[in-house]
A and B are shown apart, each in its own frame.
Chain A
Amino acid sequence: MALTIVSQIFPREMIPAVLPLIEDKLQHSKEIIRRKAVLALYKFYLIAPNQVQHIHIKFRKALCDRDVGVMAASLHIYLKMIKENSSAYKDLTGSFVTILKQVVGGKLPVDFNYHSVPAPWLQIQLLRILGLLGKDDQRTSELMYDVLDESLRRAELNHNVTYAILFECVHTVYSIYPKSELLEKAAKCIGKFVLSPKINLKYLGLKALTYVIQQDPTLALQHQMTIIECLDHPDPIIKRETLELLYRITNAQNITVIVQKMLEYLHQSKEEYIIVNLVGKIAELAEKYAPDNAWFIQTMNAVFSVGGDVMHPDIPNNFLRLLAEGFDDETENQQLRLYAVQSYFTLLDVENVFYPQRFLQVMSWVLGEYSYLLGKETPEEVITKLYKLLTSDSISSETKAWIIAAVTKLTPQAHSSNIVERLIQEFTTSLDTCLRQHAFELKHLHENVKFMKGLLPVDKSCEDMVVDASLSFLDGFVAEELSQGAAPYKPHHQRQEEKLSQEKVLSFEPYGLSFSSSGFSGRQSPAGISLGSDISGNSTDTGLKETNSLKLEGIKKLWGKEGYLPKKESKTGDETEALPVPQENIIMENVDQIITKKDQSQVLTQSKQEKEKQLLASSLFVGLGSESTINLLGKADTLSHKFRRKSKVKETKSGQTTTAQNMTRSSFSSSSNVTYEEDYYLDNLQDRGDKEVKKFSLNSELLDSESLTELPLVEKISNCRLSTPSLFADNNMEVFHPPQSTAASLANEISLASSLLEETTEHMHSDLMEVCDNETISVSSYKIWKDECLLMVWSVFNKSASELKSANLEIAPAENFKITEQPGCCLPVIEAESTKNFQYSVQMEKPFTEGNLSGFINYQVMDTHSVQLEFSVNLSLLDFIRPLKISTEDFGKLWLSFANDVKQNVKMSESQAALPSTLKALQQELRLHVVDIIGNEGLLACQLLPSNPCLLHFRVHGDMLALWFRSSCSTLPDYLLYQCQKVMEGS
């Protein structure tokens, strides 16, 4: 009973309290209780996966339970876990296959039969797991071919359950690594489903088809008539599923018909969710495959008017961007824009029609930008129309702002300006501040027509932004100021850095003094002092140098690049852009039109319904039947590039163009808005600053590492002063020595001794570990646990007698890590029989137990082809844990400030009965800092890099150890608890 309640809705905070109880129940003698316990754990896994991670082994036990029910229950957990990370459970494929074999073979007790089908739920669960495991993995897939075949064969009774199994089978067959025989059988099954008179099966058949169609579009051809029938099915759900299917097979040839069908459905449906979904799909298709301009604009008009204000804001934005940026050639662009303007012009003519706000916004933007294409006389007319819109009540103030912006853009082109004046009069007294501001801006601009024309050039919605951004016209001013002795402008972060370096210089002096005057008589003190003063002196030097070089560079940059940049270049360049007529496109279009015309004429002549359907079918599957049998998507792409956004070409501009409509609005107000420009200026400089930073990062890196190595030393010494038997210093020395010797021995073997970084001697580091090698090179890696990050070093040793060229080491970005490349990651040459190091500093972004960092190295041997070698390294949470050195009082304060806590009782083994020894073990294994030991209680502290502190509280009573964790990070305690438990069990 209690277990049942536990697995209902259950608060996350209570899990640790009941978890041990449920774990006990896993060993209960009654099956039903074991089963319920497993399901309760499944529920826990869903709520908080990290809290149950230490009992994964018990799940395995449950999988092997002698009772089938318990085993079936554990499958739920596995399904969830495999969904998240299929590679970790590949080894279980064999057992899953055997289980399924037994089930299909009827080896289970009769109790589990359902309508004489053996354990259907179990089968479906297993099939799903297999599908996930076998995805894109030939080896694992091969294991399951037999059993899939078997289940396909067995499930041939005419009952819903068997259909369910069949459906799942088909799904699995198509998701694993393909095998032709199985695919054939699965295709047959789908056929059965689709043709079935039962409506539920038909639905499932369509669903399966939708899934399959991506891999094998020919299947759709076989069932085209059925699909057409389904399209006119009275049940909207079936219709919708069919549309979904069509959406998947859309290509450049059948787009018009499919979108027409979709729009029809769109007009009928009322539910908001469906509309949003469908509108998005239509817009996507239209953008991808549109056959011609007129059609594209019309479709988008339909989308806007139906989708209205519920649709995703990306759609109108994308549409506008497409219009503004254009495609590969100019004439096409002009045509498209012209058509858009014309259609909107006529749309606005229609009286008494209410369009959604979004649509009006789009219209006003387009008219404002491109109505010059209509000819000389029209700006007035357009303004009149827009004015009429403005005065109507049904429009929101946001839309009104859009419209005023459009009017502003049009005013310089218009000859007479009565309406504009009237508009200004009306809106300068408007209650809406935004509108009022726009009106005033318009007013002032209107007073100076010439200036206005220069400011709002025709058809410069994207281009003029580039000019603004570079701000080259300010250079002369800046240069003048500089020559008069003004300080060069430095970007924010540059200034900060300088400040920092100065601070460092200052702060080290007193430190050095303090410990020399304290008269500390430890064995390390002479070395410490000499080292400390050495470094501080050194850092002063470099710090000064750095600031000097910075200033110089800053000035040089200002003079150099921008001074030469001609202001007009970007403008003229765009206008003189060549306008070649792309013949291909036109031919394409013609073909399309011919096809559609043919279709239409045929439709007219043959009025019989059946024929019509067939025709529809032929037009729908046109792309599939003729040429493309295999790779539908790929082909479609090559055909229809023209309506794709030119994302690649304009990548550099995209940052500015995405905000195109905002910018056009603000660009005319920019003259009065000096601060705005200054922002730009700042950005611009910042970019350059970045480059500089890279340049002198070599210097600063040296400085950083040195100054940072000093910090711990200082800390260490102060630590020693506080508590004489400092455990930390001890520990540091202990762990520090052996690895170095082993590493050294290893290093001798592959002549790496010299290559170990200087830093290695300052910090703890792991053993050298070979990660990959071939006949020419061997790559080994080791971790350096620096105080502020984990430094991964990859040493590449060139074994061959010739030198290697353009060696390049790249690390794939990992989900949970922030990886920063240290300088020197791309080396032009690695000499023969020498070693080079690549360094990466790694930070953990969110806590977890273990992660994988993979990458590859590229190199060239003597001008031949380049070779690529892949490797991966495991990182664990422990690599990112550092001791947090705080006093007992600080511990108390911090303890109260943290919200997330986790408690757990752990049994202690006899060997670690005494608290100090336990703590020592933890300290060594996990790099925790022992703050204090008071009686039978111990306080420890650590932090997860970069700065997530975690406090631990230990209390011994009897042979139990009560662990209590508190942290500012919600998940960290769970992970640490897991690690602690591992350590305690291990020792």
Chain B
Amino acid sequence: MASSSSSGLTFKLHPLVIVNISDHYTRVKSQLSLPPSLTSTSSAATSNNNNNNSNGGENNQNPPPRVYGCVIGVQRGRTVEIFNSFELIYDPSTRSLDRSFLEKKQELYKKVFPHFYVLGWYSTGSDAQESDMHFHKALMDINESPLYVLLNPAINPAQKDLPVTIYESELHVIDGVPQLIFVRSSYTIETVEAERISVDHVAHLKPSGGSAATQLAAQLTGIHSAIKMLNSRIRVLHQYLVGMQKGDIPCESSLLRQVSSLLRRLPAVESEKFQDDFLMEYNDTLLITYLAMFTNCSSTMNELVDKFNTTYDRHSRRGGRTAFI
């Protein structure tokens, strides 16, 4: 069902959407399973609890609840940018979508974010299912080709890739019958500067100290980890290429083409104007440093002069002059 998409649209996903979906899912999950500290009167809940404890906290007997919601954003030309999301009421057993709720929510969000409109919907689970197509079709009257964002909430520590997939729907002719099927699309993560800082802040729980030393340390750690990541990626590419050269790995020309185009793009910017602008910025920063040093020096000098005046006071003769002679 999931082949790669051919619509040619590029998708950009903001981290806020991911955190939103995860929060929605966690809330639903924690409402359904009571914390072990609370004793519950209903026997079903206690048996649920006991089972939970014996299975090491995993909901084995009940499949994890699925949550549904809507994603909003903007589409500019061939780029689709997903900014935000909100939850929806959907009953999978009766397959009914609460329309009035959706409209109300849309209105509310329109007031605060007037540029965004409904781009599609989201849900949690491990793979796209047939039943999802009904929801998808239901949304088609709001947006002719909605997106389906799927988040896999299973925490797998061995996983390296983000468990989020974006599906589009395409009309394929299968056995002579035109059917809508889900096709996977690739996406990139896009952040606004403030978003990146707050995500970084929460992810690494950086110390929010005021001193310059902690700030410097935090800044350098950030840059260091990013460079480390770049280094490891380049190493992987290098090993792959060496392997290809030796003949261990079959040659793949498309990949080779991409690598060579990447290399040809370095050096990225070498024009005269760039050098000039860069040096100007550099000089500005040096100037500010110089001014700050100056202010620091004059303040220290001022303190020194004051202390000097207080100690060697001309008007009082109390032991000031003796040390000087």
Whether chains A and B associate is: no
- CB within 8 Å of A: which residues of B? none
Interface, chain A (partner B; CB < 8 A):
none
